[in-house]
Structure 1
Amino acid sequence: MAKGSSQAARAGGVHRVVVIVDENSNPFELGCATEVFGLRRPEIGRELYDFKVCSPEPRTLMRDGFFTLTEVADLEAADAADTLIVPNRPDVEVPRRPAVLDAVRRAHARGTRLVGFCSGAFTLAEAGVLDGRRATAHWQWADSFRARFPSVHLEPDVLFVDDGDILTAAGSAAALDLGLHIVRRDYGAEVANSVSRRLVFAAHRDGGQRQFVERPMPDLPDESLAPVLAWAQERLDAPLTVSDLAARAAVSPATLHRRFRAQLGTTPLTWLTGERLALACRLIERGESRFEVVARRSGLGTAANLRTLMRRDTGITPSAYKRRFGPEVN
């Protein structure tokens, strides 16, 4: 997170998100950034981000000539960003403009949070800010990326990587996953859930899930996990097990594991733990300060287990999460 971003959000300030577009940039990822960071949120009651698009040229031809982007800010706008989303494009072997790489380096030097969607990891690596760092990119470019940037620790089989002040996402819809993860990091689970509802998109998919998820056409009867997921979400405080979920779905635990892997790219236990952590975060945000109560109501058992899992998932303790996202105390 860029320095001061969470404090600015808590104090009523607006976090500045700037997207750089360049020749042949992908429209989809620009759309994802606009949807997550650029729209007004009257249902939340406050502005979350000051969003701006900039380009090194007055006219930018987007991918495959789909359209031309005009009348956006010039590249100087990147120097005022709290979060800078770097350009991506399908021709990953073509060098980025020196002016764009310089803007990325300046941003990194002053502590700006950097984000790369899809092939945006190439832009970050070319700027030299990923050396020795963790990152991901679309699976189809993994070999090319490793060959060009061997000092970067590429994780090719995940949705996104949060490496603190530099975050990268795999292709297409993973940009939405990372965008919502950033909102959750900045404003908490409750606000991120509100944004995801507006998008009609899953509120939280862990970054460690696989990029490529097999989704075979189901045979009859319907093998969708939706009914058992909805059933479990209403009973997170109960001592649910994988066997309980399998019994509800009327399948064996092994079959349930296969369906979770095929449809969600994760395991039943990992999904269940993630849902319980999300519920724990919402309870803290709504004012529950007794962590043993939070742990019990979210199905995590003990305050110690809550502390361990929350630190692993969010990087901070329940007490720190409460200070950052809990109700203001007058």
Structure 2
Amino acid sequence: MLLSNCYLLTTNITFAPEDPTHTDYNSCLLHSYKSLIESSRNRATLIATNAFAMDIRISADVFSARGLVTVVTGGGSGIGLAIAAALAKSGATKVYILGRRIETLNEAVKSIAASEGVVVPIICDVSNPFTINTAVEQVQNEVGYVDVLVNNAGVSGPDHRRVNTANSISELQDIMLSSWPGWATTFAINTTSVVGVSASFLPLLDAANARRGWVTGKLEPGGNPRVKNEVEGMDSSDMRTSQIITVASIAAFNRFVTAGFAYGASKAGAVQLAKILATLLGPWGIRSNVIAPGIFPSEMTAGAPSTFPCDKIPAGRQGNFEEMSGTILYMVGKAGGYLNGNVQVIDGGRLGQMPATY
């Protein structure tokens, strides 16, 4: 295109610029390029902007969960509830919220106030394979596929913050060893469940791809691009594939003990597992991404103050549910269709103020 325009811009010159034998060919070409850029800068910018705006206007699903079947573990409170509400209120067909306490789940359904049958509570302990399989069976029987699985369930684990104020080696040792038995539960829920729950829902994630027209199965290295067939009633321009989103924490990268050894280590493990899943499941057409939140209102942070000094969080406050909602809708909408193996940090700048590995 540029060469064609270059020729048109230089047709008043006595020689043809495409003739490389002419001694002034290079200088003519450079001059023509500059003329083209200067004369069309405003027009090209306007055209590109208008075309982009038109594309945004015709796609209502850029930041939307419209039509998606989703599963959110730990969806009854805190960040999980915020995610479930965002999905339901932006048009998800189903939002299954999994948790251990039916009372909490039922209250969540009421608080979201979506259309009847959109938000479905399921009792499930993510560290218990039996209850996970029961949840999978219910989703299988009711809809038969899952577009987005959100691994959100988590616990804070043993609190080791007192290590930062220890006055002797013996005191430090006592604090570090005092809650050692609690590590197993923390890792079972925060880390191991990422693999267990994800693996359990794989057939339903694969079924979602098939429903969209994607040819399922594993792509071999160097093979053809993934094929998408036309499916009646489905948007042929929608290039999203099914997705696993793991909610970790900036504690995964923080080298300072702000909660506990087990919590930070378990969340670091969750991030790594999610990245491994992105590589492992990529050839199968299933994506894996991470949200790493900072301080948000939740049961874990119930005892924390509602605001934080700027030397701890540059934003000077906790995150809010609108900000979490925006993040999840970006990731599940068309805008996030090219994300895979990505970590979305949303922390008001807190991680940048701490010794961190991020």
Q: TM-score, normalised by structure 2?
A: 0.26
Q: Which of the two has higher C-alpha Rg?
A: 2
Higher normalized contact order (CA 8 Å, seq sep 6+, divided by chain length): 2
